[in-house]
């Protein structure tokens, strides 16, 4: 999860809103026997950086509550290390806060592409078709022209998965997957709200929350 939130954090977490939607919901899944909305939800974002975890958990709780589903953050209850050390104790702590289910946000996948373009007309892009016929100065000229300015663009595609589990049975009740295209000129912090909204809207549509 560290890699994703490198792409979505308050320090480096700063770019995503373009003229078009940066985040799209790819798919959802619901357990066949999940026939009614769950009760209070404990929200857990898996990231070892406190501000990132808090940012996502706060947004989920705010939007779930607005949608009519009671929810609580977990960053002020247990650290990630404490949860990993004793899952039974963690579940008990979540239930003690009134939660009946836990909603976990994690990194599913991330990919990066980098494109580089060179400024200037095509005449500044030399091509050598042979070596023997090229003198030292011609070879030098090619190398010199190759030092002209280049411009690069980095694009990352981040897949985040949210999974809802019953705290008593540990059974998975619902899951959803989003795809976020991260570009250098985007505001990543601004994208956190619409990203969370995609998950909450899908949960409402699938009937796992009221």
pLDDT tens digit string along 39-96? 999 999 999 889 999 999 999 999 999 999 999 999 999 999 999 999 999 999 999 9
Q: What pLDDT is stored for residue 9 in this prediction?
A: 45
Query: Residue 207 in 3-state DSSP?
Result: coil
May I ask the CATH architecture of the domain 2-113+156-206? Answer: 3-Layer(aba) Sandwich (3.40)
**Higher per-residue confidence, 127 vs 97:** 97
Task: Provide mean pLDDT across the span 102-112.
Answer: 95
Binning pLDDT at 50, 70 and 90, where does residue 185 land?
Answer: confident
Q: Report which of residues 12 and 86 the model is more confident about.
A: 86
Query: Domain map of the chain by residue range?
Result: 2-113+156-206
pTM for the full predicted model: 0.75
Question: How is residue 193 written in tokens?
Answer: 């709200």
What distance in Å separates the CA atoms of residue 149 and residue 102, rounded to the nearest whole number? 51
Flag the least confident range among 30-34, 63-67, 124-128, 197-201: 124-128
Q: Dig out the tokens for 144 from the structure.
A: 């010199």
Q: How confident is the model at residue 155 (pLDDT cuts 50, 70, 90)?
A: confident
DSSP state of 43: E
In whole angstroms, what is the distance from residue 1 CA to residue 5 CA?
A: 6
């Amino acid at each position: 999860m560290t890699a994703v939130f490198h792409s979505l954090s308050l320090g480096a977490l700063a770019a995503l809103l373009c003229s078009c939607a940066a985040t799209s919901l790819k798919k959802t899944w619901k357990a066949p026997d999940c026939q009614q909305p769950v009760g209070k939800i404990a929200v857990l974002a898996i990231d070892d950086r406190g501000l990132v975890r808090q940012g996502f958990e706060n947004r989920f709780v705010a939007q779930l509550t607005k949608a009519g589903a009671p929810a609580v953050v977990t960053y002020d209850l247990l650290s990630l290390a404490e949860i990993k050390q004793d899952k039974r104790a963690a579940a008990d702590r979540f239930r003690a806060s009134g939660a009946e289910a836990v909603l976990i946000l994690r990194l599913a996948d991330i990919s990066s592409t980098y494109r580089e373009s060179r400024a200037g007309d095509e005449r500044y892009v030399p091509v050598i078709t042979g070596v023997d016929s090229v003198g030292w100065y011609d070879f030098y000229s090619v190398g010199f022209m190759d030092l002209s300015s280049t411009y690069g663009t980095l694009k990352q595609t981040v897949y985040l998965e949210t999974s809802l589990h019953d705290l008593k049975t540990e059974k998975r009740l619902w899951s959803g997957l989003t795809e976020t295209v991260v570009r250098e000129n985007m505001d990543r912090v601004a994208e956190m709200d619409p990203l969370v909204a995609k998950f909450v809207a899908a949960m409402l549509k699938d009937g796992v929350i009221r």
